[in-house]
């Protein structure tokens, strides 16, 4: 059921956070499933279409980094996507291969005239995540990988 | 291998129009890259990449388009990107590529 909206079109609080967890093998073809899960959760709660598209893009970028990192290091352990929806929307992507080195986190958008597109991408993904999400956090996790936490804050969560 | 990306090719005037449909991500982007490479390898210098039927584009897809654009520029050609979906256009805008590419809502050959 979509969350009801008040007269000003702002989302009501969802009393309890709803969490969906997806674990998937580190293969590129599964990233569309991760997008589908996160996007559908948001849609079912009546989140505005353009915000749903931002969520799909954020999930795709973070999962792409995770899958690439694990494939490069031949780590077969599953990648974990947690989507947590209450007044805000938070996604956590946990990999087992250190997908994002700390020095990459503050990268700006590359100059298209100078980018080198290699196996790890052209370098647009991380700055794109940082621009789209209200909060981003990249940390080393206990599995020796990276956990990326991306949050769209309450003000961001317009409803359709 | 099932790839959810439809790619068609047509000639319109001086331009070769490559129309793409589906979702462009790290799984499907190689299909687009190979097709654009094949077209450019044939010596095509004027190309339209029509993204009208693309429902999703992420940074991997952007990378493919950037590489194609660079090749076209190096060959002194021209490349037009057709796109009118707001959420796809937003990806170009956020990354600062909306003016670097020649993006139009439709292709109207001159």
Q: Please give the ipTM for the structure prediction.
A: 0.93
**pLDDT tens, A58-101?**
999 999 999 999 999 999 999 999 999 999 999 999 999 865 66
**pLDDT tens, B42-81?**
999 999 999 999 999 999 999 999 999 999 999 999 999 9
Kindly list the residues of chain B whose beta carbon comes within 8 Å of any beta carbon in chain A.
Answer: 4, 23, 25-27, 56, 58-60, 62-64, 66-67, 69-70, 86-87, 90-91, 94-97, 100
Determine whether the interchain pair B27/A31 forms a contact, defined as Cβ–Cβ distance below 8 Å: yes
**pLDDT tens, A100-134?**
666 677 778 888 888 776 556 778 999 999 999 99
Measured in angstroms, the CA of A52 and the nearest CA of chain B are apart by 10
Determine whether the interchain pair A117/B63 forms a contact, defined as Cβ–Cβ distance below 8 Å: yes
**pLDDT tens, B12-26?**
999 999 999 999 999
Tell me what the mean pLDDT of segment A151-156 comes to: 92
Measured in angstroms, the CA of A140 and the nearest CA of chain B are apart by 23
Cβ contact A5:A154 at 8 Å: no
3-state secondary structure B78-94: EEEEECCCHHHHHHHHH
Structure tokens at A159: 């409803």
A46 confidence band (pLDDT: 50, 70, 90): very high
Q: Mean pLDDT across chain B, nearest whole number?
A: 94
Least Cα distance to B4 among A35, A42, A49, A79 occurs for A35
Which residue of A lies nearest to B70 if distances are taken between CA atoms?
A113
Tell me, what's the pLDDT at B14? 95
Q: How many Å separate Cα A12 from the centre of its chain? A: 23
Tell me, what's the pLDDT at A1? 47
Determine whether the interchain pair A128/B97 forms a contact, defined as Cβ–Cβ distance below 8 Å: no
A144 confidence band (pLDDT: 50, 70, 90): confident
- The residue of B2, B4, B25 whose CB has the most chain A CBs within 10 angstroms, and thus the best one to mutate to test that interface, is B25
Measured in angstroms, the CA of B12 and the nearest CA of chain A are apart by 28
Q: How many CB pairs under 8 A join A and B?
A: 75
The domain defined by A18-156 folds into: Heat Shock Protein 90 (3.30.565)
Q: Which residues of A touch B27 (CB under 8 A)?
A: 28-29, 31-32
Calpha distance A127→B95 (Å, rounded): 8
Domains of chain B: 5-104 (3.30.750.24)
**Checking DSSP bridges between strand B5-12 and strand B46-57, what pairing results, if any?**
unpaired
Work out the number of other CB atoms within 10 angstroms of the CB of residue A38: 27
**Higher pLDDT residue, A78 or B3?**
A78
Tell me what the mean pLDDT of segment B22-34 comes to: 96
Residue A149 has pLDDT above 70, yes or no: yes
Determine whether the interchain pair A60/B56 forms a contact, defined as Cβ–Cβ distance below 8 Å: yes
Structure tokens at B69: 């654009």
Residue A38 has pLDDT above 80, yes or no: yes
Tell me what the mean pLDDT of segment B22-45 comes to: 96
- Spans of all domains in chain A: 18-156
Tell me, what's the pLDDT at A5? 46
Calpha distance B81→B93 (Å, rounded): 13
Structure tokens at B82: 């057709």
A8 confidence band (pLDDT: 50, 70, 90): very low
Tell me, what's the pLDDT at B1? 45
Tell me, what's the pLDDT at A123? 85
Determine whether the interchain pair B66/A53 forms a contact, defined as Cβ–Cβ distance below 8 Å: no
Residue A55, classed as helix, strand or coil, is: helix
Calpha distance B83→B8 (Å, rounded): 16
Calpha distance A41→A52 (Å, rounded): 9
* DSSP bridge partners of B19: B8, B50
Structure tokens at B84: 């009118």
Crossing angle of helices A125-132 and B86-94, rounded to 10°: 110
Determine whether the interchain pair B25/A32 forms a contact, defined as Cβ–Cβ distance below 8 Å: yes
Measured in angstroms, the CA of A54 and the nearest CA of chain B are apart by 8
Q: Which of A28, A50, A54 sits opposite B26 (nearest CB)?
A: A28
């Amino acid at each position: 059921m979509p969350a009801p909206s008040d007269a000003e079109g702002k989302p009501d609080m969802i009393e309890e956070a709803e969490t969906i967890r997806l674990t998937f093998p580190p293969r590129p073809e599964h990233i569309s499933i991760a997008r589908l899960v996160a996007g559908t959760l948001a849609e079912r709660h009546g989140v505005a279409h353009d915000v749903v598209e931002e969520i799909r893009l954020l999930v795709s970028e973070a999962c792409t980094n995770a899958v690439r990192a694990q494939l490069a290091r031949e780590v077969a352990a599953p990648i974990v996507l947690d989507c947590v929806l209450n007044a805000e929307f938070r996604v956590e992507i946990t990999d087992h291969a250190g997908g994002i080195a700390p020095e990459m986190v503050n990268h700006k958008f590359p100059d298209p005239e100078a980018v080198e597109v290699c196996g790890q991408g052209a370098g647009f993904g991380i700055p794109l995540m940082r621009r789209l999400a209200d909060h981003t956090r990249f940390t080393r996790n206990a599995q020796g990988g990276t956990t990326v936490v991306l949050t769209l804050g309450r003000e961001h969560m317009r409803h359709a | 291998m099932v790839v959810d990306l439809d790619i068609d090719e047509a000639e319109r005037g001086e331009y070769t129009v490559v129309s793409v449909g589906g979702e462009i991500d790290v799984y499907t982007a190689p299909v687009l890259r190979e097709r654009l490479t094949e077209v450019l390898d044939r010596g095509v210098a004027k190309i339209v990449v029509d993204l009208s039927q693309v429902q999703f584009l992420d940074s991997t897809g952007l990378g493919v388009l950037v590489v194609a654009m660079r090749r076209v520029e190096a060959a002194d050609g021209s490349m037009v990107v057709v796109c009118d979906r707001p959420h796809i256009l937003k990806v170009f805008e956020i990354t600062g590529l909306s003016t670097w590419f020649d993006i139009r809502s439709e292709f109207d050959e001159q």
